[in-house]
Structures are given as C-alpha cells and as structure tokens.
Amino acid sequence: MKPSAQRTIRLAAPDFSLGPTLRSAQLFRARPENEGYVVHAGARRITVRQANGTLDVAGATEAFVRHFFALDERYEEIAARLSHCPELTEAIEACRGIRIMRQDPWECLVGFVCSQCCNVPRIERMVRALCEAAGAQAGKDARWRAFPDPGGLPAEAALRRLGVGYRAAYLSRLNAPWMRHWLHGLRLQGFESARDALRSLPGVGEKVADCVLLYSLGFRQAFPVDVWIRRAMQETHFGGRRAPDRDIQKLAADRFGRDAGYAQLFLFHHWRTRKIR
DNA sequence: ATCCAGGGGGATT
DNA sequence: AATCCCCATGGA
C-alpha cells in the first residue's frame, strides 16, 4: 500500500488552466469526471480538479504533478515573448493557462502514430483499446489499465481487430522492448538529430516526430504542422493560399524560435475549438 | 453519399 | 521538390 500516492494533495498552480490543457489533444487518456478530470498516465490513475488557482490531486506525488503539468515553466515569460506576434494575441488570450505537458515518450509516440488521419475521439478510442487489450491491471479496480510497455502490444493481426486500421503495421514494428530506452536517449541529442532519428521509425513522419519532441522530450522549439495549423498559418501568413509545410516550418522557426511549440498549441487549440461546434 | 479527421510511405513526374 | 495514390475507419 502506498498512502502517499493515494492521499489528496493540494498545490498552487498559477498561470495554469487544467481543462483547456487536458482538452488540447496533447494526450489521449484524460476525461472529465464530476467537476474535475481523470488522467491516466503510464500506470497511474490521477484524479485532479482545479479551484481558485489551486490543484487538488490524488494518485500521484506532488513532484510528479509539477513535472507532468509543467508547473515549473515560466509561463508569463513565454506568453509575453509571443505577445509580440499580433496573429497570436487572440489565441493566447483564448488559451491562457494552457501548458505543454511532459508525457512519457513511448506513450506519446504510440498515441500520435495512432493519431494520423483520424479525429480526436477516435484516437482516444484506439488508445483505450490498446490499454484494455494489453495494459497491466494497475489498481484494485480491474478497469484501471496501465499503458502497455514497449514489447507488450498485441501482434499485428490482433491490433487490426482492435480497430487501429493500417496503423497496426506501424505499431507492431515499433513494438520493441528497447524503444523506451532508445527514446529517452534522444533527450541528449540536438533537436535536428533527435528529429531525424524519430523520422527513421516506421509510421513517424515530420508531424508525429514533432509531437513526440514537443510533448515528451522537452524540445519546445518543435512546431508540428497538422491540418489545423496549416489552415491557421496559411490564413495568417500566406494570404490564404496553400503553402508547403517546409515554408510553414521555416517561418515558425524564424518567428517563434524557442517558443514555437507554445505558439503551435495556442494556434491549434484556438482554431480547432473555434471551428468545431 | 461524400468529405474530413493532429499523416506516412512509396512511386511517378 | 511537387504531386498522386493508397493505406482503414468512423462521424458529420
């Protein structure tokens, strides 16, 4: 028994918006539950709610929560630097308090390989199916499942039966026990080097690589270009005409620099939530 | 019914 | 380097 991890803890969380952060499609195992959220991460089941600038959390230590939600990051400084870009001011205001979380790289990689060419609800379904099929029971409740370890995913045919479609081939090829260690090793490399290494993996192109770099390996200069970002950038910087992803990437790197990842998440979440609904 | 969803890979031009 | 085409699936 681990009473320290099950007790509810309260911590200050200034410049942080829990709901928008968990609804910004950085991760695919969070869901609302009575006034708060349940977040599954690795083998943890974390319940969290926010009130008056504080966070009430159960299922994780304070140190984990601070790191996971990036509460140590100097948020106002980032927002202040990006506020010099007029095309972001509306998005920054609408997304104030959204933070880029720090996920486990393996879980992040699998999630974004699943993400290709499908919408968020379906991604969440696929990830849930993977956990239910191959995740270890992680608590007394048999429904709480850990995220499957690298090497622990079902075989390709079984993956297909779970509804992941053509992504089954990618996932089965990524499913090697050494992947966790290999992914962590990328933190020691430079941005471009780590990006090239990720892109050498099956099912991992520029976009998925950038998501893994940004959401799990700490590279805040990454700027994943998906359909929403493409629209937003073409609208704000290319006169509404379609532009090559290369040009979009270059512009983002020059203009947003080390904060490109935050610029991306602000634009993504703002444009997506504006059109959806 | 047709289009779209946080794409990637391979072939052709 | 730009442009098809295909990959599987579910929701709008």
Q: At what angle do helices A260-275 and A227-237 cross, to 10 degrees?
A: 100
pLDDT in tens, A69-102: 999 999 999 999 999 999 999 999 999 999 999 9
Higher pLDDT, A52 or A107: A107
The whole-number average pLDDT for the span A227-238 is 96
Distance from residue A37's CA to nucleotide C10's C1', rounded to whole Å: 26
Query: Distance between CA A139 and CA A116 in Å, rounded?
Result: 31
pLDDT in tens, A202-213: 999 999 999 999
Question: How is residue A177 written in tokens?
Answer: 């026990």
Query: Distance between CA A199 and CA A267 in Å, rounded?
Result: 24
Q: Using pLDDT thresholds of 50, 70 and 90, give the confidence band for residue A4.
A: very low
Query: Distance between CA A213 and CA A217 in Å, rounded?
Result: 5
Tell me the β-bridge partners of A219.
none
Q: Output residues with Cβ under 7 Å from nucleic strand C.
A: A 117-119, 121-122, 160, 163, 165-166, 244, 246
Query: Distance between CA A210 and CA A217 in Å, rounded?
Result: 10
A30: left (phi over 0), alpha (psi -120 to 50) or beta: beta
Is residue A177 pLDDT above 70, yes or no?
yes
Distance from residue A167's CA to nucleotide B5's C1', rounded to whole Å: 15
Q: Output residues with Cβ under 7 Å from nucleic strand B.
A: A 24-26, 112, 115-120, 122-123, 166, 199, 201-209, 211, 224, 226-229, 264-265, 268, 272
Query: Distance between CA A202 and CA A44 in Å, rounded?
Result: 28
Q: Give catalytic residue positions of A.
A: 207
A30-33: strand order across its sheet: A9-12, A54-58, A44-51, A36-41, A30-33
Q: What pTM, to 2 d.p., does this model score?
A: 0.96
Is residue A9 pLDDT above 50, yes or no?
yes
CA triple A133-A135-A137, angle to 5 deg: 115
Query: Distance between CA A267 and CA A263 in Å, rounded?
Result: 6
Query: Distance between CA A101 and CA A99 in Å, rounded?
Result: 6
Tell me the β-bridge partners of A12.
A54
Distance from residue A20's CA to nucleotide B6's C1', rounded to whole Å: 16
CA R_g for chain A: 19
**Which residues have CB under 8 Å from A53's CB, separation 6+?**
A12, A13, A14
Distance from residue A237's CA to nucleotide C5's C1', rounded to whole Å: 30
**Which residues have CB under 8 Å from A218's CB, separation 6+?**
A102, A187
pLDDT in tens, A249-264: 999 999 999 999 999 9
Q: Are A134 and A148 in contact (CB under 8 A)?
A: yes
Higher pLDDT, A153 or A53: A153
Is residue A50 pLDDT above 60, yes or no?
yes
The whole-number average pLDDT for the span A104-133 is 97
Q: Using pLDDT thresholds of 50, 70 and 90, give the confidence band for residue A139.
A: confident
**Burial classification of residue A121, based on how many CB atoms lie within 10 Å of its CB (0-12 exposed, 13-18 middle, 19 or more buried):** exposed
Bases along strand B below 7 A from a protein CB? 4-9
Is residue A138 pLDDT above 90, yes or no?
no
Q: Where are the alpha helices (DSSP H) in chain A?
A: 3-6, 18-22, 62-68, 75-82, 86-94, 105-115, 120-134, 156-161, 167-174, 179-185, 191-199, 206-216, 227-237, 245-256, 260-275
